[in-house]
Structure 1
């Protein structure tokens, strides 16, 4: 049995878990255990509110060692851009590098292979992400290594958006925050005729990709090409588990189990909001969220 842990500083990573559970359940002849670990240390205080980068690194290092101790996983997929931005600076990463999968690295690798036209001069790359991801220049540095000029990268932090999506993905507050983020990005795009690659650099943002698309269109910016790294992580995990969703067999739901753990209490409104988003994809994952295990000694 393969033992895969997916972790995120919140519930955005369940947008990876849900399609993964379905693909495995439909395609695998071997049992797999999918574990989701909420890396949030406190219900009301996330990584983006921590005082400095060193505090974030130390906390996530504790999370990774806690995961290793409690679950002994074959693979740890960091389905969180905020945590991926600091993961390589943890002592755990230095000693367990082959076990870790980083969503930012996947975004750039798959984007380069399948989406980005790197021969196009002055194509634009818009990165929507949390403050931590932007402040660490995580996407900017990686885009530059594949030949993108700094002047063609527009990095837009979206404070509070991930939390608001968890609370109510269809609230006026969520819609307002998306519009505010797109407005910031659009200031340099109205005269651009070349492709604009829009990277949803937070796993939560995939839940409201339609809001981002609608706002760009409302502003008359119709040359956008969206990149959702969540899809790439699902595909990469399937590849590593030797699962081919294209060769679907009769559904065998007993071959995949999903378990969700959190050190802190997940708010009822967060469970309601996110379960509505993932249930159409995977009822099994939505049920696991509603019945998550609160484990104070998780890390």
Structure 2
């Protein structure tokens, strides 16, 4: 272990990123690349009654999140981890991203790498990206995967309207189960008659809390083996939280 210290700030819009925060904390108790680590969790949820997916356009979303990023900077973090896919795709549009010297890492990059590895290792496979409307609408995962050589036909987006908010309020309620079932059906229709391996990427940190519900729904639709990919776990892997890796993975 190197003799140094660092402050890691983890942020999300709501409580989804707490799973990433908790995983990092648990692993740091056992091993760390730092002698002393200060962990800060910043909830960037903008208003009591609505989140970023309720804003009309990217300009509004970026202004609101820019204010949140400025507030985070007051904690003088050495690194900011955006444990939220929605905020990760908004971040490059903020003024903060153009001026800050703080390394900022988004979960989208971890998700893209995770998906890429599985698609490359598995011939005749496709991925369904489950995310919020902002995440799937920006197409960031798909664009990056195509740049890495993945065929566009292997990538299916499934935007889940209001699901993150429902999970926030009642993660195991009937409405959440119904919404996951509905989105699984829609994804199955997009897959059509495809019979190869299907990966389901839970590209909203809230969805990780309901991975069992996704697995059950996807077992019925499309009625074939589906492997869940959870970027939350990937982002929290402690061996990736070294000074060198944090600097390399910062959003440019």
Structure 1 partner of 2:106 = 102
Number of positions where the alignment pairs a residue of Structure 1 with one of Structure 2: 240
Structure 2 partner of 1:139 = 141
C-alpha distance in structure 1 between counterparts of 2:59 and 2:218, whole Å: 36
1:195 matched to 2:209: no
1:89 matched to 2:93: yes
Distance apart, 1:31 and its partner CA: 2.4
Do the aligned partners of 2:136 and 2:157 also contact (CA within 8 Å) in 1? yes
TM-score (norm 2): 0.88
1:16 matched to 2:16: no
C-alpha distance in structure 2 between counterparts of 1:234 and 1:142, whole Å: 21
Do the aligned partners of 1:57 and 1:87 also contact (CA within 8 Å) in 2? yes
Structure 1: gaps spanning 5 or more residues: 243-299
Do the aligned partners of 1:118 and 1:148 also contact (CA within 8 Å) in 2? no
Counterparts in 2 of 1:135 and 1:219: CA distance versus 1, 3 Å: closer
1:77 matched to 2:75: no
Cα deviations by residue, 1:186-210 (Å, 9 ceiling, x for unpaired): 1133522211121101000000011
TM-score (norm 1): 0.75
C-alpha distance in structure 1 between counterparts of 2:120 and 2:102, whole Å: 30
Structure 2 partner of 1:222 = 224
Match of 1:51 among 41, 51, 56: 56
Structure 1 partner of 2:176 = 174
Cα deviations by residue, 1:47-89 (Å, 9 ceiling, x for unpaired): 0001211000111111111111x20000000000001112112
Matches within 5 A, 1:206-245: 206-219=208-221, 221-235=223-237, 238-240=240-242
Q: Superposition RMSD on alpha carbons, in Å?
A: 2.1
1:116 matched to 2:119: yes
SS at match of 1:34: strand
Distance apart, 1:111 and its partner CA: 3.3
Distance apart, 1:236 and its partner CA: 5.8
Counterparts in 2 of 1:150 and 1:116: CA distance versus 1, 3 Å: closer
Structure 2 partner of 1:27 = 31
C-alpha distance in structure 2 between counterparts of 1:233 and 1:173, whole Å: 28
- Relative contact order higher in (CA < 8 Å, ≥ 6 apart): 1
